[in-house]
Structure 1
C-alpha cells in the first residue's frame, strides 16, 4: 500500500495520462491489489483492477469443496454483495448480475485465493490528477468494500446457502427432463409475468402458475425435495389462447429458463432443455452458405438455395436460415412465437394454395415440415399460435392459456380437428435431413481484427464490435447478459489465431467452453460471462464479413 501512496503523491496535479504509471501489483495487509489497465482520460471506460484475498483470511474455504454449480452460484452471490456495498460509490463498478445466474468472471476462485475483478473510475479535476481523492478511494473506501464482500462474518450466510442450493436444484431438475420425456418443466406457484417490458423483475401480485392435472409431473430436487409442475413433453406442443391471456408470457419464461434464476425471481423452478433456441423472422440480416432447400427452393432467376447467401434476407428466408443454423449448432428444441414469425414461412392456407400454384411458390411452410423435424430429426418444437388452426393437425400437446392459467385442451383440439377437417394440401417431400456442417474461414476472422486494431467491444446486448465490424444482435432474445457477448468476441479471437478453415466451428466452441476454467485463456477482465455454443454461433452467423463454406 505504501508503494501505491508514493506513486500517487508523485503524480499529483499531473496530466490524467500519468495514471498509467500505477499499473502493477500492490500488497495490502490482507489482500493483493492489481491495476491491470488504466483509462486514458476521465471519459474513457473505467480502469480494470483486481483484488485477491487468500482463502485463509475469508473463512469461506469450505466453498472449494462444493460442486461446480454451488461454486458458480457462490461467486455470483459475492459479486452481488460487492455491487450492493459499492452502489453508492459511483467510481466503483462490478459486472452486476441480473435475474439469471451465469458463470461469470467478476469473482474467480483459485486454489489459493478468492479474486474480485471490477472497474474503478480514477478521480480527477478535469484532466488533472487529484492524488488525495484517489488515495482515499483506493486505500480507504475500496479496501472496506473488498473486505466486507470476502469474509464470512460480513456475508448473509443463510442467503448465500439458499442462493447456491437453489442453483443446484435447478441443475438437478434440468437433468431429469430428458429421462422424463420433457423439453421443459414449469413448477407450480411460479410467477411468470414480469414487472414491465424492459424489466426482468417479477410482477407483484401476479397469479401463481398451476399445472393442469393431466400434464402434472413431479421432479425431485436435492434440497427442496419433490416439486410438482407442468411438464412440457418432447414433440410438438402448441400454446393457444386469446390475446393478453399469457401465451407469450409462458413462452418467455420457458425460453429464459435455459439459465438458472435467483431465489425470489418466480422462475427459479422453471427449467428448459439447455439447447432450446428461440427463432423468429429477422428482415435484413445476413445469411452465409445455409441449405434452405427443406423450406425454400425454386427461387426466381434460378438462385440456389442449397448454399444460400445474402446480405439482406427476407422474413421467410431469415427464419428458415435461423432454424437450420440452430440445428447445425446443436439445438434439440425450437421455440417459436407466431407474432414474431414470417406468416408465409409458418403457413399457406387452402385459399392461398388454390390461388397460387405450388410451382409458383418457392416456400414450403413449416406446418408441412414440423412433423418431420420431430419424427426424423428428434427436434421438439414449442410454438405460440393464435391465428392458424392448421397446426392442430400436427400437435402432440395443446395448452390453452386462460387468465394466465394453463389448461390442457389436447382432447378438445382433436374434437375440433374431427369436426373441422383441413382442406389444405400437404406440401413438400416426406423426408428431411440435418443441415450440412459449414466450415469457417479463420483467416478472415483474424483479418477483421487486424484491420480494427484488435477491438472487441460490447456496450449492451444489441451489438458486438469485432475489429471494425458491428454485429447487430437485437433479435437474439436469449442472450441473458452483455458480458456473454464479450466472451463471444474473445472466443472468436482465439479461434482466429489458427490458420485455414475450421471444419466444425460448433464443436470447436463447445470444446473451448466445456471446461470449468473456460475463461483462463481470456484476459483477466471481470465482465466476461459464459455463453451457450448456440449463442456463439448465432452471433457469428450475423457477422456480415464472416466467411463460411
Structure 2
C-alpha cells in the first residue's frame, strides 16, 4: 500500500478539512506520480485539482509526433482517451462526489491544458479534477483511497500505457494536413475550401455532431481545385477565392449550413466530424447584428453619418446599440482585430445596415438617411482594405451587383451561377474609399472608481461558454458565434486579468493582445493561468474572440 493510500485510510471519518494533508506529490507506482495541487475546501466546493505524471518513454509514444502542431493533436487524442477511461473505470463515471473528471473536447481540436508534455525528463502530464468523497462533512477515506490509488492508475494505464498508436498517428497526420491546407489558402489567395464528400449539416440545431444521411458536399466545376497535403493525400473540393462571394438559394436548402461550416473552419476537427477538410483562413470573423450591446469609441462614420441629436459617429459610444450601429461597430472592430474575411448571414443582420432599395432611396433622400448600407461599401472594403466577404442572402438580389461570384444552393448542392448573375447585375456607382481601422489605446477594463477587485481572483470569471463576470457586471458573449468551448472562455477571463495589469502602458488593444498571444505561442496557453501547478481548464481562443469580449465589456475605457 502506498503512503497516500495509508494516509487516506487514516483520514477516514475525519473532518473534511483533513484532506488538505494529502496536498503534495505521491509516487503511486513505477510509472505514475500524482501531484495534488489544490484541495477543495468542502464537499460542495469545486473539485480538487490533481496532475498525473508518466514518463513519455513508458507510453511508447514516438517523440517525433510531438513536433509542431503534432503536440496539440497528441494532447487532444490522449485527453479523449482519458475521458473514455474515466467513464469505463472510475467511480461515478466522471460525475458527482468521489469522481474523476477531465476537460472534455468537442468536435474541434484545440490547444488546451488537459494533457501537456515536459521537455526535461520527458513526461506526459495529465490534469484532472477529483471530487474527494464525503459523508456529510466527513472524509470517506476508503473511497478516496480507491479513487486516487486504484481507479486513477487504471485510467492512466488504459489511456496512456495501452493507447492505440495507429489511431494516435492518424490523428496527428490529420491535424498536420488540416493545418497545411489552411496555410495553402493564404498562399493561393483563397478564403476557404470545402472538400468533396464533406458532411456539413449537423445532427440538430443544438448539436455539433454530423447529421446522419446528409447530402455530401460536391464542388462546382468552376471552383474545383486539388491540393496535395503533407501526408501525400490529395484533397479536391471547392476553393473560394478572396473578394466578395454571394451564397443564394431557397429557404432550408443549405445556405446557412455552408456559412456555418466556414465559420467553424477556422478550427481543425477530429476524424469523423465530416468537416475535416472544410477550412477557412484563421482570422475570418462571423458578423451579425447585436441589439443592446455596448460600444466604446468606435469610428462607424463609414456606415453611420449624422445621427439625430448630433452624436459623433467617428467616436461612437453607447451602452445600447441598435441593430445597425451594433453591426457597423462589429465590422470595424473586426478589422481592428485583424480580420481579413467577414462571414455574414442576411438572416442575422440588420436590414437597414445591409441594403436600401431604389424606391426607399427615392422616398427618403440621402441627406435624410444617416445609414450608408454595406451594399454601398462592400466593394471598397475589398478593393481598399483587402477584406473579403462571404455573404448569405435569400430575400434580396441587391448584392448580385457587387459580387465577384454567386453560388446557388439547391437541396444542399452547389452551383456556380455567376454568369447568369452578371446578366442580371446593374452597374454600381464608384464607392468612396474605405478607411483603415483606427487602433484604440486601452485605458482600463473597469470603471475609473473601481480598483478594489483589480487583479483579484474574482475580478474576471467565466460562467459557461457565453458569459464572463467581473466586479462591475457581466459580458454577454452569446453573439460571438465562433467561440466553441467553455475552456476558451476560461482563457479569455485569464487574459482579461492579465490585460488589467497592463493598462496605463499607452499600448493599443492590438499591441496588448498580440503580446499575450506571442507569450502563448512561445510557452503554451497555461502561461496565462494565475495558478501554480494545475492551471485549471483552459483552451486556446483566437485573438478575434478576445477582442470580441473586450469590446462587449460595458466598462471598457479606451482613447485614440
Distance 2:463 2:147 in 1: 26
Tell me the residue number matched to 1:55: 56
Is 1:38 equivalent to 2:49 in the alignment?
Answer: no
Return closer, same or farther for 1:205/1:537 CA change in 2, 3 Å cut-off.
same
Tell me the residue number matched to 1:500: 504
Return closer, same or farther for 1:64/1:179 CA change in 2, 3 Å cut-off.
closer
Distance 1:542 1:119 in 2: 31
Instruction: Pick the aligned partner of 2:315 from 280, 283, 307.
Output: 307
Unaligned stretches of 5+ residues in structure 1: none
Tell me the residue number matched to 1:279: 287
Q: CA deviation at 1:271?
A: 0.9
User: TM-score, normalised to structure 2's length?
Assistant: 0.93
Distance 2:380 2:438 in 1: 17
Tell me the residue number matched to 1:69: 69
Deviates more, 1:81-90 or 1:510-519: 510-519
Deviates more, 1:240-249 or 1:437-446: 437-446
SS of the equivalent of 2:501 reads coil
Unaligned stretches of 5+ residues in structure 2: 88-92
Tell me the residue number matched to 1:235: 243
Distance 1:469 1:21 in 2: 37
Deviations 1:153-179 (A, max 9, x none): x11111111111111110111111122
Q: Say if 1:448 and 1:466, in contact at 8 Å, map to a contact too.
A: no
Q: Say if 2:195 and 2:238, in contact at 8 Å, map to a contact too.
A: yes
Instruction: Pick the aligned partner of 1:323 from 318, 326, 331.
Output: 331
Distance 1:394 1:443 in 2: 39
Instruction: Pick the aligned partner of 1:133 from 143, 156, 172.
Output: 143
SS of the equivalent of 2:45 reads coil
Q: CA deviation at 1:10?
A: 4.0
Is 1:509 equivalent to 2:510 in the alignment?
Answer: no
User: TM-score, normalised to structure 1's length?
Assistant: 0.94
Tell me the residue number matched to 2:84: 84
Tell me the residue number matched to 1:22: 22
Tell me the residue number matched to 2:361: 353
Q: Say if 2:466 and 2:489, in contact at 8 Å, map to a contact too.
A: no
Instruction: Pick the aligned partner of 1:144 from 122, 136, 154.
Output: 154
Return closer, same or farther for 1:6/1:447 CA change in 2, 3 Å cut-off.
farther
Distance 1:436 1:279 in 2: 19
Q: CA deviation at 1:516?
A: 4.2
Q: CA deviation at 1:89?
A: 4.0
Distance 2:118 2:470 in 1: 30
Is 1:344 equivalent to 2:346 in the alignment?
Answer: no
Q: CA deviation at 1:224?
A: 4.8
Distance 1:262 1:404 in 2: 23
Return closer, same or farther for 1:64/1:43 CA change in 2, 3 Å cut-off.
farther
Number of equivalent positions: 540
Deviates more, 1:254-263 or 1:18-27: 18-27
Deviations 1:278-328 (A, max 9, x none): 010000111011000000010111111111111111000100000000000
Deviations 1:76-130 (A, max 9, x none): 0000000001123431111111000011110001112110011111111122211
Is 1:4 equivalent to 2:4 in the alignment?
Answer: yes
SS of the equivalent of 1:196 reads coil
Q: CA deviation at 1:364?
A: 0.5
Q: CA deviation at 1:187?
A: 0.4
- Aligned pairs (5 A) from 1:51-200: 51-60=52-61, 62-64=62-64, 66-87=66-87, 88-90=93-95, 91-111=99-119, 112-151=122-161, 154-200=162-208
Q: Say if 2:455 and 2:497, in contact at 8 Å, map to a contact too.
A: no
Distance 1:42 1:175 in 2: 48
Considering only aligned residues, what root-mean-square deviation do their CA atoms show, in Å?
1.9
Is 1:450 equivalent to 2:451 in the alignment?
Answer: no
Q: CA deviation at 1:362?
A: 1.0
Return closer, same or farther for 1:115/1:502 CA change in 2, 3 Å cut-off.
farther
SS of the equivalent of 2:187 reads coil
Tell me the residue number matched to 2:90: none
Q: Say if 1:169 and 1:224, in contact at 8 Å, map to a contact too.
A: no
Q: CA deviation at 1:184?
A: 0.2
Is 1:221 equivalent to 2:241 in the alignment?
Answer: no
Distance 2:156 2:282 in 1: 34
